[in-house]
Amino acid sequence: MLGLLGISAVVGACAATEPRELLDARAAYEEASRSRAPELSPAELQTAKESLGRAEFAFKEDGNEQYVRDLSYIAERKAEFARIQSKVVEAVRMKEQADQELLSMATNLAETKNEALAVEQRARAKAEERMKEALARLAAFSAIKEEARGTVITIPGQVLFESGKYAILRNAEQSLNQLAEALLEERNAAIVIEGHTDSQGSDDFNRQLSLDRATSVRDYLLQRGIAPDRILACGIGEDRPVAQNTSPEGRANNRRVEVVVKEPNAKLACTYP
């Protein structure tokens, strides 16, 4: 009789229902195994596997006891830890990779900026050299000086026009081509073309003639590539002489066109006395 009771007890233990904690632990381990834990956190996953093994062995030996459920809970937590740890490792690696890519991009950007700066400096130096050469050629037929209003290039009227006319002389085109070449090197400079006359004739006639001459020069420069929004023609007439009008030489000096090259983006406006 006692033997039958013992057998019955053993059979009852073997037939005991697995506790929910053990089922959860097994599911957690399987989920961790399907994740990147085997690759990224193998030690933690192995610990979880061993904990699950102890819980399963304890259940087989003792059935649904509290300490079996405790072992199962520990196994579940360790499996969950292994899975989360793999995510942490993956996130850290991704961050390190992103940081490395960012550093590489920053390095490339700095190198590109340095290269662009070097190219810009070479281009600026070349432009300044060409500007000096162009100004040297301009000096053959004009006067160049620096004033508060900008660089002033003065071209005698007889170089550009017939007396009393505003059509540009054919033999003046080469001179204006050289002027355009110099101005094109100052791509952002504001340019004011001022026409000036002597005191012969009426004020109205001289003002209109000076404006027509300045406009002719402006239009010629526009044809040579100067942007229209950076150039202005002004007729000053006889109001700003540079010499006395009492002699032929003085009147010749007053008949002139002044090209005023201002700072980049300076306001374009005519300045009258």
pLDDT digits (tens, 9 = 90+) for 113-128: 899 889 889 987 887 7
Question: What are 154's two structure tokens?
Answer: 């003065």
Helix (H) or strand (E) holding 131: helix 66-138
Largest CA distance in the chain: 153
Over residues 99-114, mean pLDDT: 90
- SS3 assignment, position 66: helix
- Does position 1 have pLDDT exceeding 90, yes or no? no
Over residues 166-175, mean pLDDT: 92
Residue closest to 153 by CA, chosen among 162, 142, 166, 164? 142
Q: Which residues, 6 or more positions from 164, have their beta carbon under 8 angstroms from its beta carbon?
A: 209
Over residues 230-241, mean pLDDT: 95
The architecture that CATH gives domain 139-264 is 2-Layer Sandwich (3.30)
Cα 125 to Cα 31, 118, 132, 207, distances in angstroms: 67, 10, 11, 40
CA distance 238 to 230: 25
Lowest mean pLDDT among 14-23, 60-69, 219-228: 14-23
- Does position 92 have pLDDT exceeding 80, yes or no? yes
- Does position 244 have pLDDT exceeding 80, yes or no? yes
Residues in the chain: 273
Query: For the chain, what is the radius of gyration of the CA atoms?
Result: 46
- Does position 90 have pLDDT exceeding 60, yes or no? yes
Residue closest to 53 by CA, chosen among 38, 68, 34? 68
pLDDT at position 13, please? 45
pLDDT at position 71, please? 85
pLDDT at position 15, please? 53
Mean pLDDT of the chain: 87
CA distance 230 to 220: 14
pLDDT at position 8, please? 42
pLDDT at position 272, please? 82
